[in-house]
Amino acid sequence: MVNRHRGEIEAVLDGRPRVLCLTLGALAELEAAFAVDDLAGLAERFATGRLSATDLTKVIGAGLRGAGETVSDADVAKMTADGSATGFARIAADLLKATFGTREVREGEGASEGSPGKNPPPPRP
């Protein structure tokens, strides 16, 4: 069972359910892989919505390793997911949302540009 409070998600890869989680170590791994200086840079990189197959491999691999699996990016590249490329994109999007998710805005609160309810930046270390 996944713990959403820890940022865990479950995804079916190679026909079996797996847990993915972007731990602090996994995020550091992604900072290095994408050559960004901090979590804000990482969030900005992903906010474009444009991820290559290599990007998906890195994100999903880091998520699997963050959840305790011993897999390489090469192992992840050989895996299958329901929906093929779209399935991998959905898994990465779900994982990133679980990690950098935004706060839901309640009716009447409003969300002006830069307010906490509208795409807040990730926490800074």
With respect to residue 119, please indicate whether it lies within any of the assigned structural domains: no
State the residue range of the domain holding 94. 4-100
With respect to residue 117, please indicate whether it lies within any of the assigned structural domains: no
With respect to residue 35, please indicate whether it lies within any of the assigned structural domains: yes
With respect to residue 110, please indicate whether it lies within any of the assigned structural domains: no
Residue 101 has what pLDDT?
Answer: 79
Residue whose pair of structure tokens reads 């359910």 in the numeric block:
17
Domain count for the chain: 1
With respect to residue 118, please indicate whether it lies within any of the assigned structural domains: no
Q: pLDDT tens digits, residue range 92-109? A: 999 999 998 754 434 443
With respect to residue 125, please indicate whether it lies within any of the assigned structural domains: no
pLDDT at 14 over 80: yes
DSSP 2-25: --GGGT-EEEEETTEEEEE---HH
With respect to residue 105, please indicate whether it lies within any of the assigned structural domains: no
Work out the average pLDDT over 18-36. Answer: 96
